């Protein structure tokens, strides 16, 4: 019985070794994949970018622009009064209560950041 158990263990070990993928086999497979795929691509004079047309929606351009006091005031007024705070502990309630005092310097700060293309790390 002990010998049977040993043979069974040896057989499993041998099967595992036979099915084992060696690092060199792995490397060879992936080193050859590109060449095999390239060989299957037919030669054509067609522009490959033509195949992509219509697959993706047209991109819209995005550009930062300076904000006005009125726009910033409207944004602050539309903020939902939640209990959450930013990394400095500032809440919407605090911003709302101070909006008339901070709106002008905040507008200048935002516009300076946009003009100089320098944004605080915490906003990235």
In a domain, 14, yes or no: no
pTM for the model = 0.49
pLDDT: which is higher, 68 or 12: 68
In a domain, 31, yes or no: no
> Quick one: pLDDT band at residue 49, thresholds 50, 70, 90?
confident
Residues 92/80, Cβ–Cβ less than 8 Å: yes
Residue 124 in tokens: 């990235």
The alpha carbon dihedral of 33, 34, 35, 41 has a sign of positive
Residues 72/110, Cβ–Cβ less than 8 Å: yes
pLDDT value at residue 1: 47
pLDDT: which is higher, 109 or 28: 109
- Largest alpha-carbon pair distance within the chain? 90
In a domain, 66, yes or no: yes
In a domain, 9, yes or no: no
pLDDT value at residue 40: 87
Rounded to the nearest integer, the mean pLDDT of the chain is: 83
Neighbour-count burial of 99, counting CB atoms closer than 10 A to its CB (0-12 exposed, 13-18 middle, 19+ buried): middle
If one counts the domains in the chain, the total is: 1
In a domain, 96, yes or no: yes
> Quick one: pLDDT band at residue 65, thresholds 50, 70, 90?
very high
Give the domain range for residue 57. Answer: 46-124
Task: Convert the pLDDT of each residue in 3-48 to its tens digit.
Answer: 455 455 555 555 556 667 788 887 888 888 888 888 888 888 888 8
């Amino acid at each position: 019985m002990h010998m049977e158990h040993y043979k069974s263990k040896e057989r499993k070990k041998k099967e595992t070794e036979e099915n084992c993928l060696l690092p060199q086999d792995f490397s060879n497979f992936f080193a050859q994949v590109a060449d095999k795929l390239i060989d299957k691509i037919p030669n054509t004079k067609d522009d490959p970018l033509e195949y992509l047309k219509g697959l993706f929606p047209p991109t819209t351009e995005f550009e930062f622009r300076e904000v006005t006091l009125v726009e910033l005031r409207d944004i602050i007024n539309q903020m939902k009064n939640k209990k959450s705070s930013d990394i400095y502990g500032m809440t919407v309630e605090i911003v709302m209560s101070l909006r008339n005092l901070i709106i002008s310097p905040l507008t200048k700060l935002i516009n300076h950041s946009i003009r100089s293309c320098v944004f605080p790390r915490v906003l990235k």
